[in-house]
Structure 1
Amino acid sequence: MDQAAGWQSPYFPKIFELYDRADFAQEFLRRSPAYRGPYAAAAAAHGADRVRLLRRLARHWGLVFRLRS
């Protein structure tokens, strides 16, 4: 097992030394069930539904998504 993977590892705090605010915000959202569920639904949607769901999610969380064509 990778030593940096476990939160009890002495290397774990080193992961965050170079993080800025955006990095910490991303980690917060990545771990939040309140965000992950709606994001998974938006990511699974297609076309106009996907755009609508991503816009709603972005508005709710104060995010900007770069939509890919």
Structure 2
Amino acid sequence: MDQAVGWQSPYFPKIFERYDRADFAQEFLRRSPAYRSSYAAAAAAPGADRARLFRRLASRWGLVFRLRS
């Protein structure tokens, strides 16, 4: 099992050496309580409400959600 590297570890900066802008954006969103709450609400909503909430979420955070087939 992999263990998380503490931020005070000398290895911590190495984690981010290969990150591009999309990786940093994903990390930001993953750690944002506001985004996580909005995403959870959209994911739990039924039918048309779900689509509307995901459109609103995408607009607010500048995202594009790929459609699943």
Common fold, TM-score beyond 0.5? yes
Query: Unaligned stretches of 5+ in structure 1?
Result: none
- Which residue of the partner structure matches residue 15 of structure 2? 15
Counterparts of residues 44-59 of structure 1 (less than 5 Å): 44-59=44-59
CA distance in 1 between counterparts of 2:12 and 2:53 reads 35
- Which residue of the partner structure matches residue 33 of structure 1? 33
- 1:24 paired with 2:24, answer yes
Q: TM-score scaled by structure 2?
A: 0.83
- Structure 1 residue 11 displacement after superposition: 1.4
- Structure 1 residue 68 displacement after superposition: 2.1
Counting matched residue pairs gives: 68
Root-mean-square deviation over aligned CA pairs: 1.6
Report runs of 4+ in structure 1 exceeding 3 Å deviation.
none
Q: TM-score scaled by structure 1?
A: 0.83
